Amino acid sequence: MEPVRKYSVELILLAALAASVGFFGYLGYGLVQTPTVEPAFSGEMALADAEAQMAFGPRVTGSEAHRQMGDWLVETLRAAGWEIFIQPFPVADGIEARNIIAVRGEGPVAILGAHYDSRLVADRDPDPALRGRPVPGANDGASGVAVLTELARTLNVPASGHTVCLVFFDAEDNGRIPGWDWILGSRYFVANLDKFPRCDEPRFAVIVDMIGDADQQVYLESNSSDRLTDAIWGMARDLGYGDWIIPEYRYRITDDHIPFLEAGFLAADMIDFDYPYWHTTQDTLDKLSAESLERIGRTLEVWLEAGAPMAESSGED
């Protein structure tokens, strides 16, 4: 219990005088409003969104858990004030997948993407007996989605000067499985961009994938557009995140940025491929860190709210 505070008569009179001055100031000049402070990206909130996804179980495309999680995603984005579009498309064995697109703002198009499905089988599990089980998909799936859902709540879209399209791709993660392939959702989305005029002709696309690892090491990805990675990794450095978002090349990845690059758009992949639990049954929530999620989210948030500045093209991208 908080102790009772005793005030002198003099202090009470001074407080009353100050209140009267404030009241008459209000009458003379109108109500003075407290400036609205924009919420900043919270790693804890993003981690809670990852936990909410994991509660559905493995989100394998076509499963009931996947459908329920997609419905949760739509409700979460709609509650944050975004316009929602659903893009269904067929995949293996007559299964219908769906990309989920959330749009706000005006101006040049900025696409932020993540896949929300999890892999059908944990074929890299060290235990052969577990390789037929589905991947839980905490880092490989839930982490990228969690960054985008928290950005949906905190990003000052008008300050960005862009039409921001948050795109949640389905059917990304089942390559090397008979009847499936990698990045099916992003390929379908890019092939049908003309059907979504608010997201057509993007200025750039940034993909976030496997970025929540507590031992975070997000290196430059060799397929990505240099102008875009220079800008984003430069912002991470300026924010003090250079030890985790590292301006060195390490991998060349097939991910959801590839269809954008093939269509001639600037695109980048933020991915931590030094993740020992990739495509195993150990890709679980305890491997994620709120700090890791926040570093990615804050980097993108600050960069976008500054107008997503990039150097002029050298003709090399």
Measured distance CA(263)–CA(144) in Å, rounded = 23
pLDDT of residue 1: 33
> Minimum mean pLDDT among 127-136, 284-293, 304-313: which range?
304-313
User: Would you tell me how many other CB atoms lie within 10 Å of the CB of residue 89?
Assistant: 17
Closest CA to 303 of 140, 200, 151: 151
Total residue count of the chain as it appears in this document = 317
Q: Evaluate whether residue 17 is within a structural domain.
A: no
pLDDT of residue 94: 86
Which is more confidently placed, 11 or 110?
Answer: 110
Q: Evaluate whether residue 25 is within a structural domain.
A: no
> In sequence order, what E strands does 231-279 have?
245-251, 267-271
pLDDT over 70 percentage in the chain: 86
Q: Evaluate whether residue 7 is within a structural domain.
A: no
pTM listed for this prediction: 0.88
Q: Evaluate whether residue 20 is within a structural domain.
A: no
pLDDT digits (tens, 9 = 90+) for 147-167: 999 999 999 999 999 999 999
CB 131 within 8 A of CB 121: yes
Which is more confidently placed, 93 or 58?
Answer: 58
Across the range 63-90, mean pLDDT stands at 98
Confidence of residue 82 (pLDDT cuts 50, 70, 90): very high
Q: Evaluate whether residue 237 is within a structural domain.
A: yes
pLDDT digits (tens, 9 = 90+) for 162-202: 999 999 999 999 999 999 999 999 999 999 999 999 999 99
Confidence of residue 311 (pLDDT cuts 50, 70, 90): confident
CB 210 within 8 A of CB 278: yes
Q: Evaluate whether residue 22 is within a structural domain.
A: no
Q: Evaluate whether residue 221 is within a structural domain.
A: yes
| Overall domain count for the chain | 1
Where do we find the tokens 């990304």?
Answer: 172
Q: Evaluate whether residue 233 is within a structural domain.
A: yes
Domain harbouring 70, CATH code = 3.40.630.10
> Minimum mean pLDDT among 2-6, 43-47, 105-109, 175-179: which range?
2-6
CB 228 within 8 A of CB 267: yes
Could you tell me the two tokens for 159? Answer: 């300050």
Return phi, psi of residue 132, to 5°: -90, -5
pLDDT of residue 36: 53
Q: Is 270 exposed, middle or buried (0-12, 13-18, 19+ CB in 10 A)?
A: buried
CA 178 to chain centre: 30
Alpha carbon separation from 157 to 18, 207, 308 (Å, rounded): 39, 18, 11
Tell me which residue range forms the domain holding 279.
43-305
pLDDT of residue 9: 37
